[in-house]
Amino acid sequence: MLKWIMATAFTAGMLAGSVLPGHADVLDDIKARGTLVVGVKADYKPFGFRDPSGAIIGLEPDLAADVAKRLGVKLELVPVVSANRMEFLAQGKIDLMIATMSDKPERRKIVQAIEPLYYADFVNVLLPKGSPIKKWEDLAGKKLCGTTGAWYNKTVAEKYGPEVSAFDGSDKPLLSLKGGDCAGYVYDQTYIVGKLLDPDWKDGYAMPLPGILETPWSINVKLGEEKFAKFMTDTSIDWMKKGTIVDLEKKWSVPATEYAARMHEKYK
């Protein structure tokens, strides 16, 4: 019900937003006001989260800071959630969105994704240390825990032959894994990575398999902001050239993803 209300309200908001007169060019606006406003997550460790002072820190705020530095303006971070991030951008409330958003064709109709895509999430498995599973094929016939609604549960089951039993949310499958009811937990790699930063999981568990089913994430600008989009494309290419994202992964203890390494190789 809540979701429905939100969807309706946001759609209404977007319609209202689209009839308002558009302004000149966001890049000029940013320079005129001297501040770049970036929407980031504040509840997605280590990509964007709060420190006890209330500041939002993480891999994505670092990227945002880099963009502000390139523009020579101050940075303002606005916490966003999945439900409002595209709306904020379409409204012009934020200039740029770097908020763990998967790139999807239907989303490109609402906001403009910046190519080359800056990051990619994968599907991976959280396994107990010392597990006999060394490659995806070893999962055949094993019981895996998963989260209801994850699109890849079926794909993994069909391709590699494990039996995936799905639970609501991520706390229940994690509890089952701890209780030894399943051989591993198949979920978003970025989430598993976050879990492995937790002392409770770091010691007994690991993520030894390579990520599969790459899901790229996109940084977005408002539709039609060609100048800013071009600037962001150049920035993205420069990050890949310098290996900025590879470095940030190290800084925030995110295990190196194959995507970041590959893009760094490609543009080096």
Partner 1 sequence: MLRFSDAFAPSAVRVTSRAALAVSALVFVGSSAMAAAGSAHDSVLTILIRWAPLLLSGFLFNLLISVLSMAVGTLAGIPLGMMQLSSLRPLARLGYYLTQFFRNAPWLVLLFICVMLLPFEFRVAGLRIPFPDWVKAVVGFSLPAMANVSEILRGAVLSVPTGQWESAESLGFNRRQTMFQIILPQCIKRMLPPWMNLYSLITMSTVTASVVGVSEMLTMTAQVHAAEGSRPELLAPLYSFAMLCFFVYAYPIGKWTEYLERKYQVKD
Give residues in contact with partner 1 (CB under 8 A). 2, 5-6, 9-10, 12-13, 16, 20, 33, 42-45, 49-54, 79-81, 84, 87, 91-93, 171, 175, 194-195, 197-200
What is the end-to-end Cα distance of the chain in Å, rounded?
49
Q: Which residue has the tokens 């403009």?
A: 112
| CB nearer partner 1, residue 12 or residue 256 | 12
β-bridge mates for residue 38, sequence order: 77, 96
Shortest CA distance to 190 belongs to which of 216, 160, 164? 216
| CB nearer partner 1, residue 137 or residue 198 | 198
Least distance from partner 1 to the Cβ atom of residue 146, Å: 17
Give percent helix, percent strand, percent coil of the chain, each to the nearest 5: 45, 25, 35
β-bridge mates for residue 186, sequence order: 125
Least distance from partner 1 to the Cβ atom of residue 47, Å: 10
Least distance from partner 1 to the Cβ atom of residue 199, Å: 4
- Radius of gyration of the CA atoms of the chain, in A: 20
Least distance from partner 1 to the Cβ atom of residue 52, Å: 5
| CB nearer partner 1, residue 9 or residue 140 | 9
| CB nearer partner 1, residue 129 or residue 241 | 129
β-bridge mates for residue 11, sequence order: none
β-bridge mates for residue 146, sequence order: 166
| CB nearer partner 1, residue 146 or residue 243 | 146
Least distance from partner 1 to the Cβ atom of residue 168, Å: 13
Least distance from partner 1 to the Cβ atom of residue 96, Å: 15
* H or E element that contains 121: strand 119-128
Shortest CA distance to 111 belongs to which of 133, 132, 88? 88
| CB nearer partner 1, residue 171 or residue 258 | 171
